[in-house]
Structure 1
Amino acid sequence: MFSFLRGFFMPPPFEDPLRAYRADLARRTILALLAFEILFALWMAASVLPWGDLRLTVLLVMLAGTLCAGLILRRGRVALAGWTILLLYWGGLTAILLRGGVRAPAFGTFLPLCLLAAVLVGFRSALATAALSLLTGAGLLIAETRGLLPISPNTITPQSAFGAWVFIFGLSALLLALMSRETRAAMRLARQEIANRKQAEEALQHSLERFSSAFELSPLLMSITRMSDGLFIEANQNFTAILGYPREQVIGRRPADINLWADPADRERLRAELREKGQVTQMQTRVNTRNGEIRDMLISARTLDVEGEPCILIVGTDITDRMAAEAALRESEERYRLLVELAPYGIAVHQDGKIVFANQAGARLIGTESPQQVIGMSITEIIAPENLAAASERIRRMLQGERGLYPTEDVYVRLDGSRVPVEVIAAPFTFKGRPAVQVIVQDITERKQAEQALKESEARYRQLFEDAADGLLVLDAENNILDLNGRICQMLGYDRETLRGINAIELLHPEDLASKDHAAAYQALMRGETVLSNYRLKKRDGTYLPTELSTKWLGGNRFLNIVRDITERVRSAAELEESRKRLRELARYLQTA
């Protein structure tokens, strides 16, 4: 039965350990009272009092009241359960004393009642119960002396007196045992509380040490100011280092005293947001340093108590360099945008094979004035079909890191179907956070036309060069043969490759080489003059061919020599000289005759 009652009177769980302890103590007290009341009632009924006696009736009422108190405790009403028992006991004792007066042993039951109040409700309740008991006794005494109570001399018998004292002593012993148990439990709780508090203090000390270390060694600017007057009470090393103030010039002063805020309105904005939200996150502001420099800061703040004083913890990040870098990046991006927009070359970005960006020049290259018409086109629509496989392979190899693939020439197809030769430079690129390819395209139609015209001109020049009636030699400043035509090979009897490997000085007759003023000739050539000279050139068979050289500087390190065979002229001159000699001899002979 008592096992059932132990579980039945179990109060609900409490988060507060002290309240849970008092509830458990009340439950144990109620169970002990029930056991005592049942045993005492049975003993009184069996050996002392008849069942109709008032005192036995009162005891049964107390038993019922204790059960009610247990039901109240089960609902978690600890104090109400205690007061229920106290009031029932007080009422029952008063009813008994109305018949026996203050001389009745039952008056002594008020003492264990005070102990019961101390156990169930607390010390103050015990004092109140004692005062109420004394007032009840005084009232009974007054009523008895005035004959107002129906007291008979035979009311108190030895048996009833003995029963009353048994009740008093039994209840007192029970309550003292419970109080002793409560005292030991309270001492255990106190020791546990002291241990917990000491552990908490040690943990707090460790936490303070860690906070202090983190505060001092943090790469962020950190400071603590009082909320009441704004005075700095702490600042870390980075705060003083970046702002340039020694620590002693910061602690005990206000931000206004060191002209900290570049815009004082930022401080008011910070305090207003702190009052409204209790913290500030990522607020951008500017502060003055000691040397007058203005630094950009990103600060966060929150309120905290320091030794009971409301304070503000401010943590700041110096973003001056980042802001400068961002400004430089914006300027660079703007310059890049202008460069791309105004560039005379087509610039485009393709991603996953689709055009995602094109500038105005790129749009015109494809045959439209609107870049929007190009965006979304596939590169397969732009690259000539016969070149598409090679272009795709180049892009694949480039994305794998291979170099030297660009610049290259290609052919693009315009929107109207016409074709345009282009020169393409491509490079890996990131567009909106994803890999892409940026291409720079130049229309080389005019260059191709010029190259074709140059080829035709060179072909005509080569034809004239090869078909010239005179021998042609192109020399450098060291007289190495750079180019020659077929006529000079015929004149000297060398094949082209052999003659190309010979220095022109080796072809000159030594007498001619020694007799010419080469320095004067070179200076005349540098002035743009044409230098005429006669040289005997060594032929393959070792004989020398008389020639007339017409030399012209072509610019750079190239000199053109037109070589004319003057063998006939030399022979004619020799014959003419021989004829003149004979004529002179004939004239002398005739004169002598």
Structure 2
Amino acid sequence: MKEPAPPSPVEPESAIRKTTLKAIALLIGAAATLLTPLVYLSSSNPLETWATVLVAVIGWGSYLLVRLDYTTYMPHLTVYSVLTAASLSVLAFGSVRTAAGFLFVAAVAGAGILLGRAALIGSVVYSVVSLGALTLAEARGWLHTPNFTVGTKVWLTHSAVLVVVAILVFYSRKRANIALAQKMEELQLRKRTEHERDRSMERFARIFRSSPSPMLAQSAHSGAILDVNPAFERCYGYTREQVLGRMDAFLWAEPEQRASYLERLFAQRRTDQERVTGLRADGSHFEALISSEMGDDPQDRLIITTVADITAQNEAIERLRRSEERFAKAFNFSPLKMTITRLSDGTFLEVNQARDPVQGLHKKDLLGKSTLETGGWLSPADRQTFVERIQREGHLSGYDTRMRHADGQVIDARMWAELIEIDGEACILSCFVNTTEEKRREAQLLTLTRGMAGPGGDALFQALTMHMAQAIGADMVTVGELHPERSVRTLSVWKDGAASQNFSFPLDGAPCGDAMQQTDLCVHLEGVAERYPGDQALIDQGFQAYVGQSLRDEDGTAIGLLNALWRRPIQLRADTRALIAIFASRATAELIRLRRDREILHLNSTLEQRVRERTADLEKLNAELDSFAYSVSHDLKSPLRAIDGFTRLLTEQLQGRLQTDEQQLFERVLAATSRMGLLIADLLALARVSQGTLHRSLTDLSTLAETVLRLEQEKHPERVLRWRITPGLVCLCDARLARTVLGNLLGNAVKYTRDRADTLIEFGQHNADGDPPFAFYVRDNGVGFNMQYADKLFKPFQRLHMPSQFEGTGIGLATVRRIVERHGGSIRAESAPGQGAVFHFTLAGSGPMNPALPRSPAAAA
């Protein structure tokens, strides 16, 4: 909005008044001065001349007063002096018709313009009375005879009076213009004030509505709520319509707080940040700070109140207080030594009461001093490195360093540090532990690891004794093997920091004998030579302390001994015991390995003889099996053929003379001999598959399966057999035995599907994801079987169907299993009654084949 232009500057009325008075006084003085000689020359009455002189004196006197800034009463003096001079001029002239009469008009005009109402009335009364008296005197003839001759003095008098009146009129107009300008200025000022007020009200309304803090406006006279902002609605849960016109008592949870608040507000006209408890629409309380101010408008005073919900702030402060309390407790009661130091110079600001495990200093020894002064850092460079790293990373975990103990000893320490800020200053919260003992144990473990490593045998025993002596500080360490004559032969000796020659020593009368009898450590911390006076070696070498550990086999039999000796009394710590136990365990394992190696060498020396003996036994068994096969072929089959022949001969000779039941008996004999022949043939086949050498070659199983199924179709011309064979299935196997496998499996599939109108037999191979991978399978849609009896499938003479249902001897699948196992494969079956059967088998070479291998000529046979 465009601001109205400010009014033009107006000349002050006091200056205009002074200028006007100065001009009038100057005009009166000058005109009267000019008239004085004219009057003197033209009039014979000297009184008339003195009257003109008086007017001139009045004019110049008034001018002088104006110049001297005596303007307060100067207009009154001038007006009444002019009236007096006018009266004297009339008296001197002798008639009211003189030109001086115009002075009454000019004086009254001046009084009306320059003076107040009282002066104006006084001048009018004065003029009326004077003119009345003079007129009466002239009428009665009390005045001398006037000279009505018109001349220059009359013109000058009239002109002077007119100019004075003009000046007064101009001054009056000027005053009117000034008054008008002032009114216009006041009007503009009022408009600007109202405009600013409207803008302020608009801004206040925007602030009121958009303020994030709850605000409400109330009448100071009635206390009624006049308006609330949206933040108030969100805070209190009331809508604007629900609260307008109501008193605010329902917003206070504690009426006493409201009474105290109103008392202070009306007394001080404002309150600031007063803590109260508010009440929401749902009945919940909340902590708040309210600030109120009362307006100055006497007609309609407003109370504007701002509410700040500090519930979250109080909760945050409480959480902070609790956090600080927990931190203080954790800091002060921590068993670890914790400190707070200034980042800039390392000065200790706070130290807890925990024992100092690194420097051995107390809280009073650290506060106010720097870490360099107390020996916390060995050098300024060490601290600078630490400071740069924590500034870069913000915190450090497990920072290893070295510090100086109060006794001057350098200690290994590990620090945990966090960069924090206290009162705007960067500080370091840190805790530290003494890791000297840990470093020592790490060195021991490193020594132990090196002692455990090695290629084995003598080198390992030597490394073991060396590192054990270094780890436990022993003067001599030996590891030896127990001999049957109760003596020990050392396998390695480490003495006085160097390897030494192996030797043998007896167990009787020595601490080694007691150690060999115990399963745990045998320990003599001092005086071992005095306890075993019969062991001259202890006395000669000056050993005072001894630790021994027997080495035992898996069954607890002692097989060796690990010894450690010192020429001084010792204190055996728990970690030293653990180290000795670990070294003893490793020595035991290596000694057991050496003894097993000896046994293996002994067994290898007799292995060839045992192989030859086993080969001879196998050859003998094969010869006996061949003999058995020959016996079955000739000794069993010959009588069987005789029975069959004679039975057929009798049947032919007695043909026509046999009764029906006799004929059936002869048929049963012939069927039994035929079944017996099949059993013998199957048994021979089963025996043959276990003999001989496998002749593996790349065999086309798809072609074999096709051949077998075509032969089965020729055997059963009355049936329509349908099969599905995956082409190109090859396997590295014995082709003759593979044909036997497929003959049995596919033959069974044909047999057990004879009751199916639509026979389907499948032969294929699983992929790499199959179970097992790359296994072959034979699937049919025959009668199937119950998997509960699947364990009988591959056992000789075990059948899942009655002979009256399906013929067979129960040897076929047993033969298949034996062939598959000879090839290093496996076979299993899946089935359900009425849902067919699936046989999965592998022949060890069932995976992807190399097409460059030669194919077996038997594959197509």
Q: Give the TM-score normalised by the residue count of structure 2.
A: 0.46
**Distance in 2, Cα, partners of 1:297 & 1:231:** 21
- Alignment partner, residue 57 of structure 2: 60
Residue equivalent to 1:133: 123
Shift of 1:334: 0.9
- Give the secondary-structure state (helix, strand or coil) at the position aligned to 1:344: coil
1:178 equivalenced with 2:175 (yes/no): no
Deviation at 1:434, TM superposition (A): 1.0
Question: Does the CA contact (< 8 Å) of 2:79 and 2:110 recur in 1?
Answer: no
Q: 1:394 aligns with which of 377, 380, 386?
A: 386
Is residue 27–residue 59 contact of structure 2 (8 Å, CA) maintained in 1?
no
Shift of 1:128: 2.1
CA distance in 2, matches of 1:207, 1:190: 25
Match of 1:243 in 2: 236
Shift of 1:93: 1.0
The 8 Å contact of residues 224 and 312 in structure 1, kept in 2 or not, is answered as yes
Secondary structure at the counterpart of residue 328 of structure 1 = helix
Query: Superposed, which structure 2 residues align to 1:225-236 within 5 Å?
Result: 225-236=218-229
The equivalences for 1:245-284 within 5 A come to 245-256=238-249, 258-260=250-252, 262=254, 264-265=256-257, 268-269=260-261, 272=264, 275-276=267-268, 279-284=270-275
CA distance in structure 2 between the aligned counterparts of 1:211 and 1:299, rounded to whole angstroms: 18
- Which digits, 9 at most, give the CA deviation of each residue in 1:49-105, with x for residues without a partner? 5795124313422431243134336xxxxxxx2542123321441354267479466
Which runs of structure 2 are paired with 1:422-571 in the superposition (5 Å)? 422-444=413-435, 447-448=438-439, 562-563=592-593, 564-565=595-596, 567=599
Shift of the 391–69 alpha-carbon distance from structure 1 to 2, 3 Å rule, reads closer
Structure 1 stretch 417-426 or stretch 263-272: which is displaced more?
263-272
For residue 113 of structure 1, the aligned residue among 85, 107, 112 is 107
Match of 2:279 in 1: 288
Aligned-partner residue type, residue 179 of structure 1: S
Q: Is the 8 A contact 1:225 1:232 kept in 2?
A: yes
* Partner secondary structure for residue 229 of structure 1: coil
Q: Write the distance in 1 (CA, Å) between the matches of 2:132 and 2:428.
A: 112
Where relative contact order (Cα < 8 A, 6+ residues apart) is larger, the structure is 1
For 2:851, the equivalent position in structure 1 comes to: none
1:89 maps to which residue?
Answer: 79
Is residue 397–residue 415 contact of structure 2 (8 Å, CA) maintained in 1? Answer: yes
Rounded to whole Å, the distance in 2 between the matches of 1:230 and 1:182 is: 51
- The separation in 2 between residues aligned to 1:47 and 1:142, in whole angstroms, is 28
Q: Is the 8 A contact 1:297 1:317 kept in 2?
A: yes
**8 Å CA contact 1:381, 1:413 repeated in 2:** no
Contact 1:114/1:129 (CA < 8 Å) preserved in 2?
A: no
Contact 1:243–1:289 (8 Å) recurs in 2: yes
CA deviation vs aligned residue, 1:260-297 (integer Å, no higher than 9, x gap): 36464366346536744x54444444322222333333
Give the alignment's TM-score, normalised by structure 1. 0.65
Alpha-carbon distance between aligned partners in 2 of 1:100 and 1:387, rounded to the nearest angstrom: 122
Residue 33 of structure 2 contacts residue 53 of structure 2 at CA under 8 Å; is this kept in 1? no
Would you say the 8 A contact 1:223–1:232 is kept in 2? yes
Cα gap change, 1:186 to 1:90, in 2 (>3 Å)? same
Per-residue deviation, 1:362: 6.2
Change (3 A) 1:322 1:107: farther
CA contact (8 A) 2:108 2:120 kept: yes
Could you tell me which residue of structure 2 aligns to residue 536 of structure 1? none
1:286-344: CA deviation from partner (whole Å, max 9, x where unpaired): 32222233333334333324584233333333332222211111110111011000011
- Secondary structure of the equivalent of 2:397? coil
Q: Give the aligned partner of residue 329 of structure 2.
A: 338
Residues in 2 aligned to 1:118 and 1:415: alpha-carbon distance in whole angstroms: 109
Q: 1:114 to 1:313 in 2, by over 3 A?
A: farther
Q: Aligned partners of 1:354, 1:401: CA distance in 2, in Å? A: 21
Aligned length: 462
Letter in 1 for 2:370: S
The residue that corresponds to 1:301 in the other structure is 292
Cα offset, 1:380, TM superposition: 2.0
- 1:429 counterpart letter in structure 2: I
Q: Distance in 1 between matches of 2:320 and 2:82?
A: 93
Which structure 1 residue ranges, 5 or more long, are not aligned? Answer: 1-15, 74-80, 470-484, 488-529, 533-553, 579-593
* Structure 2 residue matching 1:205: 3-state secondary structure: helix
**Alpha carbons 2:338, 2:351 under 8 Å: kept:** yes
Q: Deviation string for 1:128-149 (max 9, x for gaps)?
A: 2332123324654786699899
CA distance in 2, matches of 1:70, 1:261: 76
1:144-155 mapped onto 2 (5 Å cutoff): 152-154=143-145
Query: For residues 52 and 448 of structure 2, what CA distance do their matches in structure 1 show?
Result: 145
Separation in 2, partners of 1:416, 1:118: 113
Whole-angstrom CA distance in 1 between matches of 2:267 and 2:418: 54
SS at match of 1:425: strand
Residue 351 of structure 2 is matched in structure 1 by 358
Unaligned runs of 5+ in 2: 1-6, 42-47, 462-478, 482-552, 556-581, 611-861
Cα offset, 1:407, TM superposition = 0.9
Measured at CA, do residues 294 and 46 of structure 1 come closer, stay the same or move farther in structure 2, by a change above 3 Å? Answer: farther
Check conservation: 2:32, 2:52, Cα contact below 8 A: no
The code of the aligned residue for 1:400 comes to R
CA contact (8 A) 1:96 1:106 kept: yes
Distance 1:466 1:286, change over 3 A: farther
Structure 2 residue aligned with 1:220: 213
Distance in 2 (CA, whole Å) between partners of 1:406 and 1:150 is: 135
> Contact 2:31/2:157 (CA < 8 Å) preserved in 1?
no
Conservation of the 8 A alpha-carbon contact between 2:51 and 2:89 = no
Q: From the superposition, tell whether residues 394 and 18 of structure 1 become closer, same or farther in structure 2 (CA, over 3 Å).
A: closer
Secondary structure at the aligned position of 1:380 is classed as coil
Q: Would the aligned equivalents of 1:98 and 1:150 in 2 still touch at CA under 8 Å?
A: no
Superimposed CA distance per residue, residues 224-250 of structure 1 (whole angstroms, 9 cap, x where no aligned partner)? 323333333332222232122222333
Three-state SS of the structure 2 residue aligned to 1:216 is helix
How far has the Cα of 1:111 moved from its partner?
A: 4.1
Query: SS at 1:349's partner residue?
Result: strand
Name the CA shift for 1:249/1:117 in 2 (closer, same or farther; >3 Å). Answer: farther
Q: Secondary structure at the match of 1:422?
A: strand
1:285–1:419 Cα change, 3 Å:
farther
- Range with greater deviation from structure 2 (245-254 or 188-197): 188-197
- CA distance in structure 1 between the aligned counterparts of 2:147 and 2:201, rounded to whole angstroms: 72
Cα root mean square deviation, aligned? 4.5
Alpha-carbon distance between aligned partners in 1 of 2:141 and 2:8, rounded to the nearest angstrom? 50
Kept after mapping to 1: 8 A contact 2:420/2:426: yes
* Cα distance change of structure 1 residues 388 and 141 upon mapping to structure 2, 3 Å threshold: closer
Q: Which sits farther off after the overlay, 342-351 or 210-219?
A: 210-219
Is the 1:26–1:82 contact (alpha carbons within 8 Å) kept by the matching residues of 2? Answer: no
CA shift in 2, pair 1:306/1:209, >3 Å: farther
**Residues 1:150 and 1:164: Cα distance change in structure 2 (over 3 Å):** farther
CA distance in 2, matches of 1:86, 1:47: 29
Contact 1:365–1:414 (Cα < 8 Å) also in 2: yes
The CA distance in 1 between the partners of 2:147 and 2:361, in whole Å, is: 127
User: What is the CA–CA distance in structure 2 between the aligned matches of 1:289 and 1:158, rounded to whole Å?
Assistant: 105
Question: Counterpart of 2:413 in 1: which secondary structure?
Answer: strand
- Higher helix residue share: 1
- Give the equivalent residue in structure 2 for 1:210: 203
Letter in 2 for 1:201: E
Separation in 2 of the partners of 1:330 and 1:156? 115
Distance 1:183 1:438 in 2: 84
Corresponding residue number in structure 1 for 2:370: 378
Structure 1 CA distance for aligned equivalents of residues 59 and 129 of structure 2: 23
Using the TM superposition, give the Cα deviation of residue 379 of structure 1 relative to its aligned residue in structure 2, in angstroms: 1.7
Shift of residue 192, structure 1, vs aligned partner: 4.2
Equivalent pair of 1:274/1:302 in contact (CA under 8 Å): no
Q: Distance in 2 between matches of 1:531 and 1:293?
A: 77
Instruction: Give aligned-pair identity as a percent.
Output: 20
- CA distance in structure 1 between the partners assigned to 2:425 and 2:24 by the alignment: 81
Find the structure with the greater CA-based Rg: 2
**Structure-1 separation of matches of 2:266 and 2:209:** 24
The code of the aligned residue for 1:64 comes to G
Distance 2:147 2:404 in 1: 131
